A and B are shown apart, each in its own frame.
Chain A
Amino acid sequence: MIVAEKKPIDEIIGFVRDYRKILLVGCNECVTVCYAGGKKEVEILASALTMAFMKEGKELEVKEVTLERQCDHEYLEEIRNIIDEYDAAVSLACGVGVQFMAEKYFRTPVFPGVNTLFMGVTEERGVWAERCQGCGKCILGETAGICPISRCAKRLLNGPCGGSTKGKCEINKELDCAWQLIIDRLKELGRLEDYEELIPIKDWSTERAGGPRKVIREDLKQ
């Protein structure tokens, strides 16, 4: 899933200070799972904003909506009939949802309610961690199912570096060294000799470096 964190309330107040009617739009997908932008967070943000405005002696009308997803036309269309009643919207979806809403509702100012961080997993309750950077050419088959691009601080394809200490990364003692994990798993799989295969220079053109990416499936296009 896409992992996000709530933006500091003061930053959001700064965005909407000059408006009186605001639409808060949550998303029922990833940001709900990571407790950053679901129905509950929309409720909390609505109360926080109302209180902040009251303190400044201003009135605020807030409407709370949480959509199934904000990355599909179908669900974003659900607010078409009401959005024009509001001066501005705050989307608590990931950066994808915020932008898609802004594209669709061109005249309405749309602000982000979360900071979007990464594609990751719920390691345990309350702990999320990065697993993929969407490089567009998966190498997990060569690295024992552990991604050095997303999990090594230097994204070394032929690691580990000299800073790997007791299984941890040199930049943070809490962070597992991705290459230690790869080696441990290769050993478990009885394939430690695979470690000596040189991973070739990567073609980064399928990643961010190649410019904004798009997938077109002619068989599905209408």
Chain B
Amino acid sequence: MSTKTPSRLEKILAAGHMAVTSECGPPRGSKGEVITKKAEMIKDYVDAINITDNQTSVTRLCSLAACIRLKLMGVEPILQMVTRDRNRIALQSDILGAASFDLYNILCLSGDHQQFGDSPQGQNVFDLDSIQLIQTVRYMRDEGKFLGGDDIDQPPKMFVGAAANPFADPFEIRVPRLAKKIAAGVEFIQTQCIYNLEKFELWMKMARDRGLHEKVYILAGVTPFKSAGMAKYMKNRVPGMDVPDEVVNRMSGVPKEKQPEEGIKICVESIQRLKEVEGVKGFHVMAIEWEEKVLEIVEQSGLYPRPKIE
């Protein structure tokens, strides 16, 4: 497959390799080295690293600055951008800022509602939604124009991604929703954390039935549980998360000190099984505040070493 951007992630996918991405949350302060340390640790085990954009609406060091830090250390960043906090002027402006540092990947999201974070009394913007942000980046890149119609002097060259949650309700529109994102111009997808493998496989089958797996690169999202408590929390408290009882029971069934190990095991087994699912083109390993575990997950899943592509 031919590539449209200088993105290394795109090249790896286009070459037919299973891609591996991960993500790092920026610090709640101005210590830039927090992000570079995390990246240093995992960089040889992944092809690109997402930097979250004020995830769960908790104010943090901005994604753009953190991505620039990764770029400067030679790591391929994926700029996460939510439409919650910026209008179309700010979004386009940040996209150009990112392009000026040769950031080549963007993940277009709407973002969690601010009620979940540290500023529930703040305004939200939502001038665009995630699908319209996909359209915006594609328009800026492919037409070389701002939304307002003026020409961009050196348009951004970004590989455009989005999230997909196969588990949120209503299930029947989860594949049509993927189709909408593809129609808007999305090129890669990182899914919500997968614990219910049957449901994910059904979603993938429905996507394949429409040929969608050939129109977009789908990276399956996985997150290891650190403890049975975390599994229960994700099951009961995190909106749009589907954690089957047997997974929770498996975590609770081992002694507390063995639970982290069990969590990694479940994660690796999931990857092994998902590798066989037609249409899965890679993995997005989200080890939340547990980034050091990305190494063993990638290694044990047979995804190491990473392909060398320039």
Contact = CB atoms under 8 A, between A and B. Distances in A.
Given A155-B126, A164-B168, A201-B128, A195 B173 contact: yes
Contact of A201 (B112, B132, B172, B192): B132
Interface stretch (A12-20, A33-41, A139-147, A165-173): A165-173
B113 interface: yes
A180 B169 contact: yes
Interface stretch (B43-51, B179-187, B289-297): B179-187
A210 interface: no
B84 A154 contact: yes
B176 A158 contact: no
B149 interface: no
Contacts of A159: 129
A183 B170 contact: yes
Contact of A160 (B147, B168, B183, B192): B168
B176 A195 contact: yes
A165 B170 CA distance: 8
Contacts of A198: 131, 135, 180, 183-184
Contacts of B259: none
B180 A170 contact: no
B112 A164 contact: no
B113 A162 contact: no
B170 A170 contact: no
A163 B128 CA distance: 18
B243 to A, nearest CB: 13
B54 to A, nearest CB: 14
A165 to B, nearest CB: 5
Interface string B114-141: 0110000000101111111001100000
Contacts of B173: 160, 183, 192, 195
A28 B165 CA distance: 48
Interface in A183-216: 183-184, 192, 195-196, 198, 200-201, 204
Interface in B134-187: 135-136, 147, 163, 165, 168-170, 172-173, 176-177, 179-180, 183-184
